[in-house]
Amino acid sequence: MSLLETIRTPADLARLDPALLPALAVEIRAFLVHSVSKTGGHLGPNLGVVELTIALHRVFDSPRDTIVFDTGHIAYVHKLLTGRQGFDKLRAKGGLSGYPSRAESEHDVVENSHASVSLSWVEGIARAYQLRGQRRHAVAVIGDGALTGGMAWEALNNLAVATDLPVVIVVNDNTRSYAATIGGLSEHLSWLRTTGGYEALMSWGRERLTRTPIVGGPAFGALHGVKKGIKDILAPQGLFEDLGMKYVGPVDGHDEQAIEVALRQAKGFGAPVIVHVITRKGEGYDPARNDDADQFHAVGVINPETGLPLEVSGRSWTDEFSDAIEPLGTRRPDVVALTAAMLIPVGLKGFAAAHPDRVFDVGIAEQHAVAMAAGLAFGGLHPVVCLYSTFLNRAFDQLLMDCALHQAGVTFVLDRAGVTGNDGPSHHGMWDMTLANIVPGLRLAAPRDGVRLARSLEQAVDVNDAPTVLRFPKGNPPAPIEPLRSLGCVDVLAERDGGAVDDLIVGIGAMVPTALAVGEGLVADGRSVRVVDPVWALPVPHELVAQARDASRVVVIEDNAVAGGIGAAVALALSQEGVATPVVQEGIPKRFLEHASRAEALADIGLTPKSILQSLRGVSAAAAGSPPPEMAP
């Protein structure tokens, strides 16, 4: 039996002979490489926190003490040490989540994969424990990347004066987000890392003074007691101590015993304290360590020996965007791009290489990025803010107030829109069109293929008096789907003739192939059908309303929440224009979707041609007063 298999709970770990801990760390790394190479997942970040997580679970008493992992992607080792070693279906339907999950374990508390929230959570948790008279610790583990987010600083500002709150903030400093972390804070952390004077003096003192009998111990204690003064002379801790926060570190994040010492010290303070732990992303696995792009921040299925991908991913939507923005930047010197710590994932690498002074990586700071974009627009440029759809949620107020209210020509490019799959509830991009729908003046395009993506981007950067949004999903776009004809911006993709129809099927973006398949099924049922794609879906085009007037039924198919999505916008537009045609809204129900592949998630919510046809046949049959036909597409 391996050492790891003997650990079922943190109590087993606490009992383990410290001499065996390095061997346990080796086993955990081998386990992670072996299993995550088969399922995909956040390999690099988790390899970096093996010793840190072991130490956390030996020093703190989870679940009595609460450990919150910021962003949640570094919880694999935590899972292994809290009774979850079945990683064969990690991130797959029915398997372990890639993030903490309350349904899985009482040791998991915060499931949110949106960064920078952990300090707020632990302040809340610690205050609740305190008010209820419970002596329990709350610990946040936050990366140097997540520490760039504004929320973390709002919480620090409060924690700094919460001097009786037993909160421990572990900064997992690996100098990287996906790529190198940027900004003043990361420079400060790096300065703390490299200023070894204080630690050197302390270890010199410990060595010399404790060798002297009787006076040695007290003298070292005294030296320790004036730690703050010495620190300020030798290595002023600046930021954190100026805020009034206690600071321990920097600690070697791959020396388990050293981390334990620091954490025990921090635990004893009884006040908010920062423990600065230096780790290496991908530690112990050369392919990750040698990967300059992101040190295997997140991998697909790979060969564990070489680290090379085993799945051919093909040309992605991100590639289409990347290929469109780079030449656009050459033609339009006013176009600038912004990213929130995700330059490569959002497809800006080529643009950054071609126009290095016109791309701004602001750290994990979506709110700042969007308000800054409003400023750039005011200054005469056309900013393109590139985000994953789910992270737009963070910056809704800035989209509404800083961009729309000020009629700022800012283009938002939202990758990973719709159902994203294995990353689970907080990663689905299922709210962006709902948010966009309530913003005055905003125009939104959901391109159905790469040709439409490039064209919409060109059109978007020509709009200089309102925000524009482009949204597209994860994965590979279909081959270009050319229209039969166009009515204004509305493309007609399938019809028998130009006359009135029973069903006007409106496909939005990535759901166009589904709309076409549904159209074929309805034609086979003997109905007359027109399938259209507005491309620019918001505001609802007049031509679409005109088409709806001549149809018996409108069906809108979108991969956004039905609540407030494009179907809802079409229904409102029709009622405002006095068009009585009923609108069927096919989209994502108002609930959080579990992790599963995109195809499984779409099937679960009935967003497949087969399910949509079944529901439409049910509606038609009910309207006609007869049972639905037994037809499968």
Ligand X SMILES: Cc1ncc(C[n+]2csc(CCOP(=O)(O)OP(=O)(O)O)c2C)c(N)n1
Active site residues: 281, 366, 394
Rounded CA gap, 378 and 397, in Å? 18
Phi and psi dihedrals of 305, rounded to 5?
-70, -45
Nearest distance from residue 281's CB to ligand X, in Å? Answer: 6
Which CB, 144 or 558, lies closer to ligand X? 144
What are the tokens at 440? 């005055």
Question: Least distance from C-beta 386 to ligand X, angstroms?
Answer: 11
Amino acid letter, 77: V
* Cα(457)–Cα(468) distance, integer angstroms: 9
Is residue 40 near ligand X by the rule CB under 6 A? no
Q: Per-residue string for binding with ligand X, 116-145, x by CB under 6 A?
A: ---------------------------xxx
DSSP state at residue 309: B
Q: Who's near 8: CB < 8 A, 6+ residues apart?
A: 83
Q: How far is the CB of 436 from ligand X (least distance, A)?
A: 18
Do residues 603 and 570 touch, judged by C-beta distance below 8 A?
no
Report if residue 364 touches ligand X, rule: CB under 6 A. yes
Judged by CB under 6 A, does residue 71 bind ligand X?
yes
By CB under 6 A, what part of segment 582-611 binds ligand X? none
- Write out the E strands in 113-232: 138-143, 167-173
- Measured from the CB atom, the residue of 113 and 560 that comes closer to ligand X is 113
Alpha helices of 533-608 — where are they, by DSSP H? Answer: 542-549, 566-576, 598-604
Q: Does 392 bind ligand X (CB under 6 A)?
A: no
Q: Is the dihedral of CA 315, 316, 321, 326 positive or negative?
A: negative
Tokens of 306: 């070489």
Please report whether residue 113 would count as binding ligand X according to CB under 6 A. yes
What residue type is assigned to position 353 of the chain?
Answer: A
Q: Is the dihedral of CA 520, 522, 528, 530 positive or negative?
A: negative
Is 340 an interacting residue with respect to ligand X (CB under 6 A)?
yes
Scanning 84-92, 240-248, 338-346, 490-498 for contacts with ligand X by CB under 6 A, the matching segment is 338-346
Amino acid at site 627: P
Report, in Å, the least distance between residue 511 CB and ligand X.
25
Among 33, 74, 110, 413, binds ligand X (CB under 6 A): 74
342 binds ligand X per the rule CB under 6 A:
yes
Q: Which helix (H) or strand (E) holds 583?
A: strand 583-588
- Please give the Cα distance from 351 to 147 (Å, whole number): 26
* Distance from the Cα of residue 625 to its chain's centroid: 47
Residue 176 binds ligand X (CB under 6 A): yes
Q: Kindly give, in sequence order, each residue whose CB lies less than 8 Å from that of residue 113, ignoring residues fewer than 6 positions away.
A: 71, 72, 73, 99, 423, 424, 426, 427
Q: How many residues bind ligand X (CB under 6 A)?
A: 26
Q: Is 111 in the site for ligand X (CB under 6 A)?
A: no
Rounded to an integer, what is the distance from CA 456 to the centroid of its chain?
A: 25
Q: Contact between 146 and ligand X (CB under 6 A)?
A: yes
- Among 107, 114, 137, 368, contact with ligand X (rule: CB under 6 A): 114
Q: By CB under 6 A, is residue 272 in contact with ligand X?
A: no
Q: Least distance in Å: CB of 279 to ligand X?
A: 8
- The stretch near ligand X (CB under 6 A) out of 120-128, 153-161, 170-178, 412-420 is 170-178
> Quick one: 402 or 558, whose CB is closer to ligand X?
402
Binds ligand X (CB under 6 A): choice among 39, 66, 120, 174: 174
**Is there binding between residue 424 and ligand X (CB under 6 A)?**
no
What is the binding site for ligand X (CB under 6 A)? Answer: 45, 71, 73-74, 113-115, 143-146, 172, 174, 176-178, 181, 281, 297, 340-342, 364, 366, 391, 394
